[in-house]
Each structure stands twice: as structure tokens, then as C-alpha cells.
Structure 1
């Protein structure tokens, strides 16, 4: 009884908080629309328009308190201009309605992000990337902090590296769609949250322990649908014991995903070992209706040509991706994107 009632109360509070966020965004969107209409109607010069905002900000602050600085009013204006499809304008409803939001209809309440989310999204100049982050935030329930981290780690650009041109275009319209194992793989994976330094010496065991200590962040970095199953999973064959670093499950792929950490460059022995693990899992762990397991080898160094020959013609799906312990720069990923386009 206590558990059920507590669940109802928590769900009600969460719904109320989401409704508050939605109402705030609608209010700010309407304020932004009014500011834009005022600018356009009066055809204000830039310097005069700035003075109007300063005066409006001062009046609103004295009447309603914080939240209406000049910068915030500018953000409200940009919200209306840059996110016109957040709401559908209902042209058939009466202007005389006393309900302030009756002229607006959101696509769904759950699709509207918080004001903080939109402020963060407006920092992204690439419109395709911005559309992608907006979709992913809504679909995955990212907090503003998680959204900021994904933007800082250039998730959109990293996904572009591993997709063809058609798939890249779909990212900004549909977000990340997972239909096959290749859709979940990124290159590189950014593990800056582990707190390890690129230049310092650390073992594979230390790397694995750091991942376990930051498991929530690691699963977020991996992407959609991943859940933790086991670490150092032991498998025994003819009295010989072997240990898999991490065993995960992806609900979209409906299969186990085995992860191995390698300090250094990928070798043919690493690929053979992962292939061995996958063969075992396919025969002994995979249930009826599930798809064959997938392997991901995370290495600190990766040679594309060598990896192609090491992983070619294996009977299992094995991917090798590089991991980085620091956030990438846009210049680094832009250079990689240009290299990929030339291939």
C-alpha cells in the first residue's frame, strides 16, 4: 500500500513539475512573439529596440521579480524566432478567449523541453545539430546537464562520422534511429567523466573500474537502450575460465553487447578473443527471439586500415572504436569529417 501510494504521489509531483516547465516555455514563447511583433510593426532601429528592451526589462523586474533581464528577454525573442514548430498555432480559436494559451497547441506536453534546455540549444549554431539535440533530449529525457554534456562532446558530429550521407540527414529529422548494430556504434567514444588523463599511465583494470564507478555516465555515452548486465562475466569451457570486461543489453537491438577495454592498439588477438566470447554467448546465453550478440572493443589507439583486416570476414558483429579521455575540439572532428567525405 505504502509503495503504491508513494508511487502515485511521486508521479503526480513529476507531472506537475513538467507542466510548470511547459507553462513557463509557452509564456516565454508568447512574450518573445510579442517582442518580435513590436519590433517588426514599429520597424525599430537596432539601437532604439535595445532601449525598449532595457525599459521593458526594468518594468517587468519591478513588477514580477527576477527572470526578466535584458538577456533573458532576448532569449525569449530568439525562442519564438528559432523554434516556431514547438507549438502549433490554432487559427480557428476565438481571440476573445480568456484562456491565455488557448491560441496555442503543443504537439505533446512531453515533447516540450524546459526553458533551460532551450537556452542551451540556442547556443548551437548548426541547425541540423540543434534539431538532433532537441529530438534526442525529448525522446531520452535528458536533463539540461546531460544535454550540455552531449553537446560539449559533439555527439552529433561523432555520429556523423559513422554514417552515410542519407543517415546523416535523418539525424536532424528523426534523431538517432537504431535498427541494426552499426547504428549504436560511435567513433570515438568520449570518456572524459572518468577523470583519467590521456598522458598518464593506467591499466585496463583501472579503466574498467573507473567505468563502473561512473556507470550512469558511461551508459549515457553509449547511447539509447543500453542496460548493465555484468562485469568480469566468467565463462568456463573445459575447466578454463575466461572473463568478459562488461556485458550489456540493448533493448532496441534485442541482444547482448559485450565490451572489452584495451589499453593500446587493436590486435588480431583482441578480435579473436571477442569472437570467441560472442560464439559462447550466442550458443549459451542468447534466448529464443533474441538477436545474436554484438562485440565492441574500445581501444586507446586505432588504425583504420589495420582494423579493417583484423575484423574482416568474422562470423560475428565486432566493432572497434577509439576512446578519448578528453572532450574533442570542433576543429578535430571537422578534420575527421572531411577525411571521411573524401573516402
Structure 2
């Protein structure tokens, strides 16, 4: 595989060895513009570290991608489907989803139920990240993200922090995977010192590497 950009090539060399990627996995990560998606959320120093150290996971933000690419679900980009359909496809292709999530993730469960004040709630997908030693909750939204969705995730995160996690584990992370979002609304809904709840778009069709770059540049 030819990767013209030297920094990008070094990144994939490091990550392929670290994660034990075969040719198929490496090709998929390159085609999904993993390097660019990670670089987008980092400052210049962080981007430089990608080419010399790979993806270093030290804080919640280091886990994030925007967008997440879920082409393995086989769901057409413009087709109508439910959140249950999306969740089922992710579970059916769990290994592919774990590859997209990155290092350290272990699957805990889907539609994980908890009860509080005689009300029942369910978290779409629950993972634990061994590197950050914390639960990571995913809520799937097939439409545009609403501020109420963020409030709901805040409650889920609070519950896990207060009732589920162990004392030696780190604060829970909540990630809202949505088809569309308004970053200004997300920022205004969350506290200024937020470091636990994040919103990212997802794609169900793998665009070309060039299309992904243009998409991300338009978000800057």
C-alpha cells in the first residue's frame, strides 16, 4: 500500500503493529481516513504526535472521531431505518465496530437496563475502555441531535458514575452518535468544563478518502 504523506505513513505503520492489523484492516482504516479524522480534533502538537507515537489515549477526547464511519452496517446513506435497525447492524458486525472505535474497548451489553425511582431506562450500547478505565455509553440517534438527547445522556452518565462504576475507575464517558448535529447547540447545552459527554456524526456509506477530507474541511 502506497501512502504518499510521510507523517500519515508513519502513523499507519505504528498503529498496524500496535493493533495487529492485517492487510484488510489496514486498508479499511486508510480508506476511512482514520488519520485525518483523528488529526481534525487535535492541535499541531497533537497531530505531530500521531506521526511519531500513533494514537495515544490519555483522556476522553483522545478516543473521539467525528465522523464515525459505519459502512459495515450495509445501511444505505439515504434509506429509512430505525435506531433499532442501526443498533442491530452494529451488534451483527461487532468486530468491525470495535475496529472503528479503536484500542481498549470491550463490549458490555446492548439495551442495558437500569431502574431509578421506579422508572426504567435503557442505554443503547455499553462498553468499557481498559486504557482509560471507564465505562463508555453510546446513544444512537438516526436524525438531528436535540438538546433533550444530550440531557438524557447526562442522566445516564450521572447514574453510571454514582451507582455503577467502582471507586478506582474513572468518570463515565457518554457519546451520542447522530446523523446530524448543530455544534453550537451541543456546546450551549453542555457545561463549559465538560469532559464526559460528546456528540459525533456517523456515516453508513464509506466515501472516498478525498470526499471525507472535503467533508471534514467543511466542518472546520
**How high is the TM-score relative to the length of structure 2?**
0.95
Structure 2: distance between partners of 1:299 and 1:338 = 19
Which aligned runs of 4 or more in structure 1 are off by greater than 4 angstroms?
336-340
Structure 1: distance between partners of 2:217 and 2:109 = 38
| Aligned residues of 1:137 and 1:147 also touching (Cα < 8 A) | yes
Structure 2: distance between partners of 1:285 and 1:196 = 34
| Aligned residues of 1:161 and 1:336 also touching (Cα < 8 A) | no
Per the alignment, residue 125 of structure 1 pairs with 4
Answer 1 or 2: which has greater helix percent: 1
RMSD: 1.5
| Aligned residues of 2:106 and 2:127 also touching (Cα < 8 A) | yes
Structure 1 residues without counterparts, runs of 5 or longer:
1-119
Match of 1:242 among 97, 121, 124: 121
Select the structure of larger CA radius of gyration.
1
Per the alignment, residue 177 of structure 1 pairs with 56
1:258-273 paired onto structure 2 within 5 Å: 258-273=137-152
Per the alignment, residue 75 of structure 2 pairs with 196
Q: Which whole-Å deviations, capped at 9, do the CAs of 1:97-126 have from their partners, x for residues lacking one? A: xxxxxxxxxxxxxxxxxxxxxxx2xx2111
Give, in angstroms, the shift of residue 161 of structure 1: 1.1
Structure 2: distance between partners of 1:151 and 1:240 = 44
Answer 1 or 2: which has greater strand percent: 2
| Aligned residues of 1:265 and 1:301 also touching (Cα < 8 A) | yes
Per the alignment, residue 34 of structure 1 pairs with none
1:141-180 paired onto structure 2 within 5 Å: 141-180=20-59
Look up the SS of the partner of 1:291 in the other structure: coil
Structure 2: distance between partners of 1:198 and 1:339 = 19
| Aligned residues of 1:311 and 1:319 also touching (Cα < 8 A) | no
Q: Is it true that 1:308 corresponds to 2:187 in the alignment?
A: yes
Give, in angstroms, the shift of residue 261 of structure 1: 0.2
Give, in angstroms, the shift of residue 331 of structure 1: 3.0
Structure 2: distance between partners of 1:316 and 1:242 = 23
Structure 1: distance between partners of 2:137 and 2:193 = 16
Q: Which whole-Å deviations, capped at 9, do the CAs of 1:219-245 have from their partners, x for residues lacking one? A: 110111001001100010122100000
Structure 2 residues without counterparts, runs of 5 or longer:
none
Structure 2: distance between partners of 1:316 and 1:167 = 18
**How high is the TM-score relative to the length of structure 1?**
0.62
Per the alignment, residue 207 of structure 1 pairs with 86
